[in-house]
Amino acid sequence: MKRMHRGVLIVSALLLPSCSSMRSETASAPAAAAPAVAPTPIVSGTIGETAVTATATVKKIDLKKRLVTLQGADGETTTITAGPEVKNLDQVRVGDEVVATYFESVAYEVKAPSQGTPGVAVAEEVQRAKPGERPGAAGARVTTITATITGIDKKKGTVTLTGPDGDAVTVKARNPDNLEKIKKGDLVDITMTQAVAIAVEPKKK
């Protein structure tokens, strides 16, 4: 992902799901007696990462309906609903600037079959403005998909991955030399991290 539309960026920032601490959507496991040392991955790396910042000006506010109309530098306007996670909305004034930053990265890690099981795990965290502070929010979502290596073609330099739902996809290896280090049955963790931060700046005089 190389760029994100301004309207989508700001909507995502203002409409983050409400929660106060990190949570996982996978089933919880019994607490271990002592923290385990993470095993060394067979192969790991980062596929890519990007950060985009967008600025918009508040053009209209309806506090009763919690509707905020924003206008970007290109003149385009977007009306959004500020959810309950957007605290201190009554402090926002027409002319204030809303600055939203979106970050995304994708990483992968190959590990032995004994070090995990195929599946999907999602964790989220949201921080909100405290009473009396300027409105704002910051949130992060980390999604990890664990797939199984079901095919390796060293001649073509490709790897076939089968996800937890049974769907298979063949991808080109970024480094063909890594194909010598992996084997069928190994697991691949593909982790996508998405973070959004939003801040409301006072109207410039």
pLDDT one digit per residue (tens) for the chain, 205 residues? 434 344 434 443 443 333 333 333 443 344 455 555 567 788 888 888 888 888 889 899 898 888 888 888 888 888 887 766 666 778 888 998 888 888 899 999 999 999 999 999 998 876 666 666 666 666 788 999 999 999 999 999 999 999 999 999 999 988 889 899 999 999 999 999 988 777 777 766 6
User: Does residue 77 contact residue 71 with C-beta atoms inside 8 Å?
Assistant: yes
Residue 108 is part of which domain span? 6-22+44-201
- 151, 160 in Cβ contact below 8 A? yes
Is 185 contained in some domain? yes
- SS3 sequence of 149-199: EEEEECCCCEEEEECCCCCEEEEECCCHHHHHCCCCCCEEEEEEEEEEEEE
Specify if 142 maps to a domain.
Answer: yes
The pTM assigned to this predicted structure is 0.61
Does 179 map to a domain? yes
Strands, E assignment, the chain: 23-24, 43-62, 67-72, 77-81, 97-111, 119-128, 136-153, 158-162, 168-172, 187-201
Domain annotation covers residue 51: yes
Q: How many domains does the chain have?
A: 1
In a domain, 27, yes or no: no
Whether residue 144 lies inside any domain: the answer is yes
- Answer yes or no: is 181 within a domain: yes
- Cα gap 140→104, rounded to integer Å: 10
Domain assignment present for residue 164? The answer is yes
